[in-house]
Amino acid sequence: MELGRFVVDTHVHPQRHAVNFEAQDDDADYTNLAMLMHTAVPADEATDDDKVVVFDNSDRLVYDMDRYGVDMCVLLPAFGMTNGINEMIMEDHPDRFVACAQAQQTKKDALRGEEEWSIDKACEEIDYWLEKDGFRGIGEFLPYDPNQEEPMTWRERKPQLRKVFEVADKHDVPIRWHPGAAAGYSGGGLRKADKFPEYQDPMYAADIIPEFPDVDLIFEHGGVQGHWRYNVERALIVAAQFNNVYLEVGLWWEDLLKRAFNDPNVGPEQLIFGTDWGASMVANANHNSSDTSIDFPPLRWEQYEKRGLPAHQPDYWGTTLREMQKYALFNNLPQDELNLVMGGNFCDLYDVDPPHSRLFPEYLDR
């Protein structure tokens, strides 16, 4: 049985990086790969000297969609992935994908030392892509200076983010906010992500959301990456405060799902199914059934450094759709509520027509 009438994964990476090991000085590990990936060159433009290339991986994506009954996906660029490759993938499958835009070229130019990064240049690039068909949001992540050396304060960061919100407002598209970052990328020292306030604390969002009442905000992974214990609760506090704030719950486990579904100020109207399909993370199951709140989560997507880099395509949907199913089964979740999370809320957020009208709950005003 499919998990819903219309099933959409709102967090998908249809591009994959490949490392040219012969062009490396060091052995590939999480530490140097994370940086190298940001400057990846599209495979069809690459030469033998390019250390990392990025390629269209949509054949595997479409295969998995057909296997697991996923009707549509939101395509996201991250690291060295390009908006251009996502555009080509959408042209090949116009009914199955929409995409978010990110300032990928501005970031690459800055990392290669070719042009200094600025928020205005980043916003211009995002604005350019949002003019095009199929681009309906901003992300993954909020644009930042990849050469930033010192941690930024919220006072410094907020004027930058305000400009990004203005672009979202102009195009009437949702904005994505990514609290925390995968632990495998840490590699010693202060992680890049930890330099920016939005990664440190989802609560900063509550300081800028009221300025943009028409912009919907999505917490990527619902705050579950990195310092999840802290970030998930704080993301939920923001969602409880603002009806235009949504959480991606695709990587959550049953207990966490319960926390959000049971909160009358959040509930299924503000949750969406987004995983991280295409990312090189694997799931880890903790088979202990400890009740303590300090145990490692029962099902956790993370980069496990000791296992090494995954060479296979981790199976996101087999695991995550089953976990949603498990929550629905054990908690008697009405299908109408699950349908909102699996696709209904996506249609509103990303301005996509579902296959038919009246598929999702709506009630007449009395």
Q: Is there binding between residue 201 and Zn ion (CB under 5 A)? A: no
Given a contact cutoff of 8 angstroms between Cβ atoms, the answer to whether 97 and 142 are in contact is no
139 vs 268, beta carbon nearer Zn ion: 139
Nearest distance in Å: CB 12, Zn ion: 8
Angle at 82 between CA 76 and CA 86, to 5 degrees: 55
164 vs 218, beta carbon nearer Zn ion: 218
74 vs 347, beta carbon nearer Zn ion: 74
* Consecutive H or E run containing 137: strand 135-138
Which of 250, 284, 192 is closest to 68 using CA atoms? 250
276 vs 337, beta carbon nearer Zn ion: 276
- In angstroms, the CA 46 to CA 51 distance is 9
Of 20-28, 139-147, 148-156, 158-166, which segment contacts Zn ion by CB under 5 A?
139-147
Of 150-158, 163-171, 197-205, 270-278, which segment contacts Zn ion by CB under 5 A?
270-278
- In angstroms, the CA 217 to CA 215 distance is 6
Nearest distance in Å: CB 150, Zn ion: 26
Nearest distance in Å: CB 351, Zn ion: 21
36 vs 328, beta carbon nearer Zn ion: 36
Nearest distance in Å: CB 337, Zn ion: 25
Given a contact cutoff of 8 angstroms between Cβ atoms, the answer to whether 283 and 321 are in contact is no
Instruction: Give the contacts of 304 (CB within 8 A, at least 6 positions apart).
Output: 184, 282, 284
What sign for the dihedral angle of Cα 52, 274, 159, 191? negative
Q: Which residue is nearest to Zn ion (CB)?
A: 276
Given a contact cutoff of 8 angstroms between Cβ atoms, the answer to whether 11 and 275 are in contact is yes
- In angstroms, the CA 224 to CA 133 distance is 31
Residue span 274-293 as binding mask against Zn ion, x where in contact by CB under 5 A, dash where not: --x-----------------
283 vs 328, beta carbon nearer Zn ion: 283
Q: How many residues bind Zn ion (CB under 5 A)?
A: 2
Nearest distance in Å: CB 237, Zn ion: 23
| Backbone φ and ψ of 325, nearest 5° | -60, -45
- DSSP state, 235? H
Nearest distance in Å: CB 277, Zn ion: 9
Judged by the rule CB under 5 A, the positions of this chain that interact with Zn ion are: 140, 276
